[in-house]
Structure 1
Amino acid sequence: MNLHKIIKIVAFALAIIGAIFALMIMAGSDENAESMSGNMLYVAYTVLGIVLLLVVLFVVKGLFAGNIKKTLMTVGAFLAVVIISYVISSGTDLDLKPFNDKGLGITESISKNVGAGLYAFYLLAILAIGSMLYGGAKKLFNK
């Protein structure tokens, strides 16, 4: 039995369990619904864990089967984008007093991390759009 069949069987079993819990929530009372929604969360966490485990497994398997130099260069480029984003974000360009008056406890460090995430997203989006435009233009002009 290969891995694909095992994954299909596990996914089917988890889908049936999730459907049973969903039907129990819809048919039950309010007290029962709260406990059943907790069970649905456990099913969701289990599925998430299985998916993450399989993703890590297949990524590691692919690393050793393919060109590891190219993979490490790609990971390095991604880390460079994240580091550049962290360096250019300041964390002081937002007035934090209104947030802290509401009890949110936002510090300059948190603001800097959020800014770095936004800058990384913007840079990666620009790179993705640019690479799609470049590939489309190259395909157009090579015909």
Structure 2
Amino acid sequence: MHKIFKIVAAVLSLIGIISLVRIISAGDEAIKTGGEDGLFEPMAWIGYITLGITIAFVLVFVLKNLFTNTSGLKNTLIGVGAFVAVLVISYAVSGSDLPIEYKNGDTIATPNESTMVGAGIVAFYILLAVAAIAMIGSGVKKVISK
């Protein structure tokens, strides 16, 4: 299995290097025009394939580890539940800016989109505060234990 992964990585790397050489040799003008002759497509596909393979392996190994380690499954479910709770609280707290119209080009944001953006910002602040408190608490605990 390890040999197969090394071969796939080598092939993807080789195609990526060839694509990079083609882009560099095309010159600045071809790059500025956006590579209309399919210059960037192979490099983009390599990125998509690599991302897909990486996500697939991460999911497979995480799920395998979760089901073989039941104590880890409990802790993971607690963490996922806490994250979902933060998202639900963030959505409940944030309201839509109904009278204000947010424009992105010709598109106007709906009240639901405004609420979702607000919920994302509130969730970010909550998670930032939790991370800061955890880091400070860890540092204080380390200083006290010395």
> Shorter-normalised TM-score: what interval?
0.7 to 0.9
> What does 1:64-83 correspond to in 2, within 5 Å?
64-66=67-69, 67=71, 68-83=73-88
Runs of 4+ residues deviating >4 angstroms:
none
Larger deviation, residues 28-37 vs 78-87 = 28-37
Match of 1:135 in 2: 138
Q: SS in structure 1 opposite 2:35? A: helix
Q: Deviations over 1:32-61 (max 9, x none)?
A: 933020121111111110111111112101
Shift in Å at residue 71 of structure 1?
A: 1.2
Shift in Å at residue 13 of structure 1?
A: 2.6
- For structure 1, the residue ranges without an aligned partner over 5 or more in a row are none
**Percent of paired sites with the same residue:** 39
Shift in Å at residue 142 of structure 1?
A: 0.8
**Alignment counterpart, residue 57 of structure 1, candidates 55, 60, 68:** 60
Shift in Å at residue 83 of structure 1?
A: 0.5
Aligned partners of 2:96 and 2:111 also within 8 Å = yes
Q: TM-score, normalised by structure 1?
A: 0.85
Shift in Å at residue 94 of structure 1?
A: 7.1
Match of 2:90 in 1: 85
Q: TM-score, normalised by structure 2?
A: 0.84
Q: Deviations over 1:50-96 (max 9, x none)?
A: 11111111210121132211111111001000100111111217721
Q: SS in structure 2 opposite 1:33? A: coil
Paired residues, number: 139
Distance 1:79 1:9, change over 3 A: same
**Does 1:112 find its partner at 2:121?**
no
Shift in Å at residue 139 of structure 1?
A: 0.9
Aligned AA for 2:19? F
**Alignment counterpart, residue 11 of structure 2, candidates 10, 13, 17:** 13
The structure where helix makes up a greater share of residues is 1
Distance 1:94 1:69, change over 3 A: farther
Q: Deviations over 1:97-143 (max 9, x none)?
A: x617x412211111111111111111111111111111111011011
